[in-house]
Each structure stands twice: as C-alpha cells, then as structure tokens.
Amino acid sequence: MPARIMSPVIALSLSLAVLSPIRGEAQDPAGEWEVVVDLGGQPREYLLELKKKGDGFEGALVSPRTKNRYPAQSVTLKDQVLRMEIPREFAGQQVILKVEAKFAGEKGNKLDGSFNAGGLGEGKFSATRKSPPAKAEAKRPALAGRWSATAKLPDDREMGSRLEIREASGKLSGAASSERGSLELKSLNYASDGAISFSITLPAEAGGREYVIQASFEGTDRLKGKWSAADGNGSGDWIARRELPPGATPLKDRYRLSVNLSPGKTGYVDLRLIPDVDGIGGHLVTEKGRRGHIRKGSFKEGKLELEADVRDGDEVRKLKISGSLTDKGRLKGTWSSEDASGEFVGQPAEDL
C-alpha cells in the first residue's frame, strides 16, 4: 500500500532529478523529455521541461494528470551521469528523492537510471527526448507577375529588362523583354532556401552566350542577387522590383517626346515607362536609334523625374528629364545632359 501511495511522488521526483539541467561536454539535457518512473511495477508518465539558465539549467516535472509542476535542486552532470535531488514533503515528513541516470541511445536522446527515496523505496527511471515540433514552412512570396529588372554591368553601366513570370500547376515559366526583343526564361525554379534561379540565352547574332541569374526575395516585392556568364566570363549585381498594377499611376506606358535640341532644330525621343514599387523604371530610344536605360525615376504630385544612361558609341551619356503631367495627359518640361539642355513636350504614344 505505501508503495502504491508513493508511486506518483517518487515518479515526480525521479523525473525531476533525471531531467534536471546541467550541461555535459557531449550532452545537453535542455529541452522536453517524456519520462516514465516505475515503482513496484506501477509506471507513471510525466513531462520534463528543461532550459538553460546561466551556467546551469532549470526545469520542472509536469504531471499530465494534475498539471502540477515539481522543481529540482542540486542538479549535476558528470561523466554522462545526471544526478538530482528533489525535496518533497509527504505525510508530514521531509523526503529527499535522489535520482541517477545515464545518457543512452545512439544520439544521447534517452536517459536510463534509478531513484532512491530513502525508506520509501527504490524504482526505475527512463526518459526519451521529445522531438521538437516540425517548423511550418515559411510562406513564400508570389513570383508570378511583372518585374522591372536591372543588371549592373562594368564601367558603371546598367541594362534594364522586364520580366513577365507565370505560374501554373506549380510550374514556373516566363520571358525577359527589352527594346531589343524578348528572351525565354529557361530552367526557372525555386531553390530549397526559397531563392530563384533562371537562365537566358542570347540569339546567335548576339553571340549566343548563356547567362544565369540567381536571386532571393527582399520582402515580397523585391529581388536581389547576381548574374553570371555560364562560361565564367563576367558577373555582376542584379535586382528586380515588382511592377505596379495597371492604373496605379495616371502615367501612360509610352510617350513620344518632341525635344528642342538647338534653336530651330527639334528631334524626338520614345519613352517607355514602367512604374514599380520603388519608383519609375523603363527605357528610351532617340531619333537616331540610341538606346537608354532609366536608372532612377519618380512620379510625385504630378511631377516626373528621370535619370537615364544613353549609349552613344562607346560612351555613356547621362540624361535628366523633368516634367509635369498636364490636364490633357501630356508631359511638358525640360531635359539636360552634360553639355546641352532644352525643353520638351510629350504625348502618349496611343495618341500618335
């Protein structure tokens, strides 16, 4: 009868003792353990919770039946043996339950030992480390949609493109386009860490070289990574920003600017604007076929500000455009480069 009465007490003490916190050189008892104490052939189950505190550990043995928590004292871990004393009052007597248990199992995920409660008897102790709950997979930002991408080139040059990515039945596909044409995104997929990768191959007339892009999400609307030539000859930074949905700004996609070049002389510039989460991107083409990439742009309170790099042979010319949107939907403002400036008037390409 005494053994039957004391069984839960000893079980509690045993559990606490065995799972008491102290770190050995090779084993760390911190965590949760499923404990079974057996006194006189009557097993009792408990949950032991241990956590690191200072140079040692602290913990509690929890009864799944009463939810009572029992603390442990004088915990030591030496030579892979865990020792613990659990003071308890029982029937008006102060009893110290002493537990000794060794780490067992290939991964040290078990404890086997015994406990002694003085005149109350001895019993067996065993514990198994509780597996941590599986981590929920982080929700991956959606990749499908349109992106404004920029590749950093040598000599402080940039190359812009527009990505259009589709996702159907778990498969990704897409294309990259610019004023030069459109290229398929090959081998477009997610890596195990959530990063994305794809490759593009230039047409034969442009050298037929293959380039690989690898990038990771920064938030939900930005990608940042690297581009590299498949043959190892060249690499650089690569970024992309999610485009804003149609109608997010009053700007049209395309404008033709009538530009004053010098007294009595005019020309035109075709402007392709791509609003994204960071501002305004896109590209332009001059009347003489010179192409430019908009490296920085903004549209605030009806005013458009653009900075572009325009290729002129082997040189890159810096161009600034500043204009306002009129009531009739046209752009009107000024342009400037290193050695010239003037005014312009632009109208949506759909009106031409």
Render pLDDT for 61-101 as a digit per residue (tens, 0 to 9): 777 887 877 787 777 778 888 887 877 655 566 777 788 88
What's the confidence (pLDDT) of residue 48? Answer: 78
pLDDT at 236 over 80: yes
What average pLDDT does range 207-223 have in this prediction?
91
User: Considering the domain 254-351 in this protein, what is its CATH number?
Assistant: 2.40.128.120
What's the confidence (pLDDT) of residue 90? Answer: 55
Supply 90's token pair.
């029982």
Helices (H) and strands (E) in the chain, counts: 1, 26
Q: How many residues does the chain have?
A: 352
* CA neighbor of 70 nearest in space, from 52, 91, 85, 51: 85
Range from 10-19, 95-104, 162-171 carrying the lowest mean pLDDT? 10-19
What average pLDDT does range 44-73 have in this prediction?
77
Q: Under CATH, what is the fold of the domain 2-129?
A: Lipocalin (2.40.128)
Beta bridge partners of 58: 51
What's the confidence (pLDDT) of residue 15? Answer: 41
What's the confidence (pLDDT) of residue 84? Answer: 78
Q: How far apart are CA 84 and CA 18, in angstroms?
A: 6
pTM greater than the 0.75 cutoff: no
pLDDT at 21 over 60: no
Q: How far apart are CA 202 and CA 184, in angstroms?
A: 10
198 and 188 Cβ atoms separated by less than 8 Å: yes
What's the confidence (pLDDT) of residue 325? Answer: 92
CATH H superfamily, domain 145-242: Quinohemoprotein amine dehydrogenase alpha subunit, domain 2 (2.40.128.120)
Beta bridge partners of 45: 36
What's the confidence (pLDDT) of residue 20? Answer: 40
Render pLDDT for 112-165 as a digit per residue (tens, 0 to 9): 998 887 777 788 888 898 876 555 556 778 899 999 999 998 877 888 899 999
What's the confidence (pLDDT) of residue 8? Answer: 43
Residue ranges matching CATH 2.40.128.120 in the chain: 2-129, 145-242, 254-351
For 283-306, give one letter per residue: b (16+ CB within 10 A) or e. Answer: bbbbeeeebbbbbebebeeeebbb
pLDDT band at 335 (very low <50, low <70, confident <90, very high): very high
What average pLDDT does range 105-114 have in this prediction?
84
Fill in the DSSP letter of residue 253.
S
* CA neighbor of 348 nearest in space, from 252, 212, 250: 252
Render pLDDT for 283-333 as a digit per residue (tens, 0 to 9): 899 998 888 989 899 999 899 999 999 988 888 889 999 999 998 889 999
pLDDT band at 256 (very low <50, low <70, confident <90, very high): very high
More confident residue, 209 or 7: 209
Render pLDDT for 183-214 as a digit per residue (tens, 0 to 9): 999 999 988 677 899 999 988 777 788 999 99
Q: Rounded to 5 degrees, what are φ and ψ at 179? A: -65, -10
Read out DSSP for 17-76? HHT-----SS----EEEEEEEEETTEEEEEEEEEEEETTEEEEEEE-TTT--EEE-EEEE
What's the confidence (pLDDT) of residue 203? Answer: 83
What's the confidence (pLDDT) of residue 345? Answer: 95
What's the confidence (pLDDT) of residue 327? Answer: 87
What average pLDDT does range 33-38 have in this prediction?
84
What's the confidence (pLDDT) of residue 7? Answer: 44
Supply 258's token pair.
């009538």
